[in-house]
Amino acid sequence: MRNPLRRRQVVAALLRERGDLLVVAGLGSTAWDCTAAGDCALTFPMWGAMGNAAMIGLGLALAQPARRVLVLTGDGEMLMGLGSLATIGVRKPRNLAVVVIDNERYGETGMQETHTARGVDLAKAALACGFRAGIQVRRAAGLAALRKAVHAAPGPVFAQVKVAVEKLPLVLPPREGALLKSRFRRALLGAEADLD
Amino acid sequence: MSGMESEWPLRTFRVLKRSAVRLVGYVPDAGHKRLIELCLAERKLESVVLSTEEEGIGLAAGAWLGGARTVLLMQSSGVGNCINALGMVRECRFPLLMLVTMRGEHGEFNPWQVPMGQATPAVLGAMGVVVHEAATAQDVAPAVEAAARLAFGGYQAAAVLISQRVIGIKSFQEQAAQ
């Protein structure tokens, strides 16, 4: 098989024993992957605003410098916000990691190929933009180092994980945006967040 | 430029500090030049230079998830870059404060600025952003104060449109000299 890694196993490996990790999940399959690993108030799953996941991660990382922030998103979503790699690379938040689960397809619209299927290397792009790490992972043997980089290496960390093309059962998070926002803030900031 | 006109960036900056804004997202802009310089010089503010205005919507949303208030500084052409992302602001009810310097409006010399400048209030309104118009330099700081209250007290998306009359760019030469 060209890309043997399976996306749900990768995401589960990253989110296992997640500690106080804050997560932003890009719309579509990566949001379902995160939910399959366990719905969590400290994950903000997106249902729209394609191309904005990494920037939400940057805003969160700057607002919460003592917490580790992980953006998990797809290759199509990342390609739509490629400029944000430059913005993050310039700002260099030490507590931010961006992981692209790259199946080289637009999974929600019929599995059409993305630019990464034609050789666009997002990890190199991130390095060229000033990320402190730009990792490409293709095999299970690389997952332990990936997990370590995501949870502990000085950021901004970028990783592109090549995964198999597969149709998986939908595991959906709540849809209502206001609910997702408020439950995240309450879990992170406590009930006083409601009074801000 | 009279004293009052040159003072609006400083007065606006003071309003932002009073409003407990912690992040500033901006795309470099001649009209916002002085306000951006004031923000960059303030160590208590996290300034983030963006590659496109749409990134600022994500920045502000993420910062609010983390408990911080953001102001976005942009030109009217940048409002067009934000449209789809503003759908998230509305659906999630994120507070949002946008300060927009107008082009394509009062005495514009560049025809390519006119369509987006003329459409800016309608586009913001269509996406649920409450629009405050500042026609003169004296209007800017009070409009920003009102918009900040609406955004952070009222959990709304609010924009202040700073007229081209205030910015005063009438030619490429003036733009380059700003």
Mean pLDDT of B63-92: 98
Task: Pick A63's closest partner by Cβ from B57, B67, B84.
Answer: B67
Closest by alpha carbon to A55, among B124, B61, B170?
A: B61
In the prediction, which pLDDT does B172 show?
73
Q: How far apart are CA B38 and CA B173, in angstroms?
A: 24
- Closest chain A residue to B69 measured between Cα atoms? A63
- Residue B171: which domain range? 3-177
Closest C-alpha to A30, from A180, A138, A170, A141:
A170
Query: Which chain B residues touch A78 with a CB distance below 8 Å?
Result: none
Residue B58 reports pLDDT greater than 80: yes
Over the Cα atoms of chain B, what is R_g? 15
CATH class (in words) of the domain with range A7-195: alpha beta
B75 vs B50: CA distance, rounded Å:
13
- Mean pLDDT for the stretch of residues B49-76: 98
Q: Tokens 């942009």, residue?
A: B74
| Nearest residue of chain B to residue A188 (CA atoms) | B66
Chain A residue numbers with beta carbons less than 8 Å from the beta carbon of B88 are 46, 48-49, 52, 177
Does A48 sit within 8 Å of B91, measured CB to CB?
A: yes
Say if the Cβ atoms of B91 and A63 lie within 8 Å: no
Is residue B120 within 8 A of residue B102, CB to CB? The reply is yes
Q: What is the pLDDT of chain B when averaged over all its residues?
A: 94
In contact, B52 and B27? CB cutoff 8 Å:
yes
Q: pLDDT tens digits for A38-83?
A: 999 999 999 999 999 999 999 999 999 999 999 999 999 999 999 9
The per-residue pLDDT for range A21-37, each reduced to its tens digit, is 999 999 999 999 999 99
Probe site for chain A from B52, B64, B65, B71 (most A CB atoms < 10 A): B65
Q: DSSP H helical segments within chain B, as ranges?
A: 3-18, 33-41, 54-65, 76-81, 83-92, 114-126, 137-148, 164-167, 172-177
A2-30: burial string, b at 16+ Cβ within 10 Å, e else? ebebbbbebbebbbeebeebbbbbbbbbb
Smallest Cα–Cα separation from A87: which of A62, A119, A58? A58
Residues composing chain B: 178
Of B49, B66, B91, the CB nearest to A59: B66
Under an 8 A CB cutoff, do B55 and A87 touch? yes
Q: Report the C-alpha gap between A24 and B143 in whole angstroms.
A: 33
Give the pLDDT confidence score for residue A84 in this predicted structure: 98
User: Measuring CA to CA, how many Å separate A187 from each of A46, A169, A190, B99, B125?
Assistant: 17, 28, 6, 31, 32
| 0.90 surpassed by complex ipTM | yes
Longest Cα–Cα distance of chain B, Å, equals 43
Kindly state the percentage of chain A with pLDDT values over 90.
96
Is the confidence at residue B1, as pLDDT, over 70?
Answer: no
pLDDT of residue A65: 98
Torsion of CA A73, A76, A81, A87, to 10 degrees: 50
pLDDT bin (cut points 50, 70, 90) of residue A160 is: very high
User: A150 CB near a chain B CB, below 8 Å?
Assistant: no
As a whole number, mean pLDDT of residues B87-114 equals 96
Across the range A174-192, mean pLDDT stands at: 97
pLDDT at B2 over 70: no
For residues B168 and B157, the model is more confident at B157
Return the half-sphere exposure (C-beta side, CA atoms, 13 A cut-off) of residue A31: 20
Identify whether the C-beta of residue A155 lies closer than 8 Å to the C-beta of residue A94.
yes
Which one, of A179, A185, A28, lies nearest residue A109 by Cα? A28
What is the average per-residue pLDDT within A168-193? 96
Residue-wise pLDDT tens digits, A83-127: 999 999 999 999 999 999 999 999 989 999 999 999 999 999 999
Question: Token pair of B44, please?
Answer: 């208590």
CATH number of the domain to which B153 belongs: 3.40.50.970
Query: B140-157 pLDDT, tens per residue?
Result: 999 999 999 999 999 999
Q: Residue B5: is its pLDDT beyond 90?
A: no
Query: Using CB atoms, which residue from A59, A63, A188 is nearest to B58?
Result: A59
- Whether the CB-CB separation of B51 and B81 falls below 8 Å is answered with no
- Using the predicted structure, report yes or no on whether residue B3 has a pLDDT greater than 70: no
Residues B135/B139/B145/B146 CA torsion (nearest 10 deg): -60
pLDDT over 70, % of chain B: 96
Average pLDDT of span B35-56 = 97
Domain count, chain B: 1
Q: What confidence tier does B4 reach under pLDDT thresholds 50, 70, 90?
A: low
Q: Quick check: helix, strand or coil at residue A162? A: strand
Decide: B96 and B154 in contact? Cβ < 8 Å: no
Residue of chain A nearest B47, judged by CA positions:
A91
Q: How far away is chain A from the Cα of B156, in angstroms, using its nearest Cα?
A: 12
Can you give the pLDDT at residue B26? Answer: 98
Supply the pLDDT for residue B174.
Answer: 73
> What does the pLDDT read at residue A196?
85
Per-residue confidence (pLDDT) for residue B168, from 0 to 100: 81
